[in-house]
Structure 1
Amino acid sequence: MPQLEVDGATLTYDDEGPRDGEAVPLVFVHGWTADRHRWDHQMAHFAERRRAVRLDLRGHGESTGAGARRVGDLADDVLALLDHLKIERFVIIGHSMGGMIAQTIALAHPERVERMVLVNSIGKMAYSRGRALLMAASTLAPFKLFVAANIQRAFAPGYPREEIREYIRASAETPREVVMTLYGAMRAFDILDQVGQIQVPTLMVHGYHDIQLPLSQMLRMAKAYPDAVVRVLDAGHELPVEKPAELTTALDRFLTDRA
């Protein structure tokens, strides 16, 4: 289990697959309160024939470190890892907050990003006044209740309750300071007026039942992208675990069609 020291954090990562292929490496970035194992299905599939990297973001999973104040700080961590691994050009695949990180990297370093995949992600968290007040009030709830409420609603109706309870338990193990600091960082994230500058071919895969980051917001953002393909699946916000095989197929087709 390799690790890298970066700016006061210890990042745990996986670097799998052949190094001698022509295809550029895939880089998987998970979302808020999750960990690198969200990508188990995709790693098992793609690492058979191309290099694939994933990491636990600082303060998540088996990585240590305080919560980042900005999404850009997490993007810096990802780039530091890729520099350490001597990966210059890559396909970046981000889920939820991981998609915010991916877009930040694509804007700052377009020469390094060959393609990008955004899974249940958007360029700005925008809600009605009532919804915004409800979200702000939820931060005053006991920590475990706050986490449970957010994770519970991330899944589409009908997803097994026992599995949701396990994801809630795992998310609640993320340090409170990390959870709350990054919650603020995501709410402050806003690149909607810049996404038109992202020229790399992009796949946007979204769950139809996503109420964390609604489909309507993704579609509004997608219109500004110069080169975007949109796929909508019958799932909620947690596509990598709700519909792992369907997501992998969508990624495979995108990468193959664009090869």
Structure 2
Amino acid sequence: MKVQINGIELFYDIKGAGEPLLLVAGFLCDHAYWSLLMPSLISRYQVIRVDNRGMGRSSAPDSPYSLKQMAGDIAALLDHIGIDKVHLAGHSMGGQIAQELVLAHPEKVQSLILLSSLAKGDERFNSIIETWGDLLNNVNLKLYEKVVLPWIFTDEFYSIPGMIEGLIEFAIKYPFPPATHTLYHHSRAILDFDTTDRLKHIHCPTLVLVGKQDVLTPIKFSEQLAQAISNAKLLVLERGGHGFLVESPDAVASAILKFLGSFTPTFTK
């Protein structure tokens, strides 16, 4: 479904029944990135997925974006569909958008799940993201994926015959590919992002989840989030890297469901 919000068309998808759970995807991804978790999640929750501005079936204006702006898009979407409060989960850049949403609208967020995310990039991370924002101007999508995927998946995943080739083929044939300017604007929005001094204002129950083999957003980023958010719990999954939504979907879904099913108003670390 699409709705006119903040000067753009925003695509969203709702499945399942129960308390609302909103999922926000990251850089280079749209709502479909959560697909392997959906059977588990919709068995207990009303799951809302959204295509961030610039991605999938949402509008992709060729103008600067900010993650605060994208959080504003989601807040407006919740108002439009009449949902007052959600459990909120974001992966990578989606986790950064989720931070902005809970900081701007704490009344809308019942609990927060930050997967493979960060408060601020270091020099190496920023260099990678800057390059990814520029790269599609210079190479085709197949080569782009070949450059990006080693940062997303583990050695073990690469060793599965045909797996990476299949993902690249899927990306090339995907009917809603990202525009070159979208990746540039998203990358710059990530580079401009910094919640380091604002995380102390997040008070809802929070799960910070990361794969042990994540080389793009390493464990130290998640440790920083968990230490700065007063009501946060850190969980490191033994298997999987940055792309653990694809590589270890059952483990990720299980961690999400356990967290959502267990916290109470007296939730503590």
Note if contact 1:147-1:172 (Cα within 8 Å) is conserved in structure 2.
no
Structure 1 counterpart SS, 2:84? coil
**For 1:1-259, what aligned pairs fall within 5 Å after superposition?**
2-18=1-17, 21=18, 24-66=19-61, 69-128=65-124, 136=130, 141=135, 142-144=138-140, 145-146=143-144, 148-159=146-157, 160-166=163-169, 168-169=171-172, 170=174, 173-233=177-237, 234-259=239-264
SS class of match (1:122)? coil
- Which stretch shows the higher mean deviation, 36-45 or 244-253? 36-45
Q: What is the distance in 1 between the residues matched to 2:202 and 2:235?
A: 19
Uncovered stretches (5+) of structure 2, i.e. residues with no partner: 158-162, 265-269
CA deviation string 1:187-221 (max 9, x = no partner)? 11001111111111100110112121121122123
In terms of mean alpha carbon deviation, does 237-246 or 4-13 score higher?
A: 4-13
2:196, 2:183 → 1: CA distance?
Answer: 24
Q: How many corresponding residue pairs?
A: 252
- How far apart, in 2, do the equivalents of 1:255 and 1:219 lie? 20
Q: CA deviation at 1:66?
A: 1.8
- Mark the CA change 1:227 to 1:163 in structure 2 (over 3 Å): closer, same or farther: farther
Measured in 1, the distance between the counterparts of 2:47 and 2:6 equals 24
- CA drift of 1:152 comes to 3.3
Distance 2:176 2:147 in 1: 11
Tell me the secondary structure at the aligned position of residue 158 of structure 1.
helix
Report if the CA contact (8 A) 1:139-1:146 is conserved: no
Per the alignment, in what secondary structure is the counterpart of residue 123 of structure 2?
Answer: coil
Given the superposition, is the C-alpha separation of residues 127 and 47 from structure 1 closer, same or farther in structure 2, using an over 3 Å criterion? same
Report deviation, 1:244: 0.5
Percent identity, please: 29
Structure 1: runs of 5 or more not aligned: none
Q: Is the Cα contact below 8 Å between 2:208 and 2:225 reproduced in 1?
A: no
Aligned CA distance change for structure 1 residues 25 and 242 (closer, same or farther; 3 Å): same
CA change 1:224–1:49 in 2 (3 A) is closer
In structure 2, the CA distance between the partners of 1:47 and 1:172, relative to structure 1 (3 Å rule), is: closer
Aligned-CA RMSD value = 2.2
Partners of 1:235 and 1:66 in 2: CA distance: 34
CA distance in 2, matches of 1:27, 1:137: 30
Q: How far apart are 1:138 and its partner, in Å?
A: 6.2
Q: Shift of the alpha carbon at 1:171?
A: 11
Whole-angstrom distance in 2 between the partners of 1:147 and 1:188: 24
TM (norm. structure 2) is 0.85
The letter of the residue matching 1:156 is T
Q: Which range moves more in the overlay, 212-221 or 186-195? A: 212-221
TM-superposition CA deviations, 1:39-77 (whole Å, max 9, x none): 123322222333111011122122222265210111011
Distance 1:134 1:97 in 2: 14
1:148/1:168 contact within 8 Å kept: no
> Which shifted more, 77-86 or 46-55?
46-55
Bigger drift between 64-73 and 245-254 goes to 64-73
Query: CA separation in 1, counterparts of 2:49 and 2:129?
Result: 30
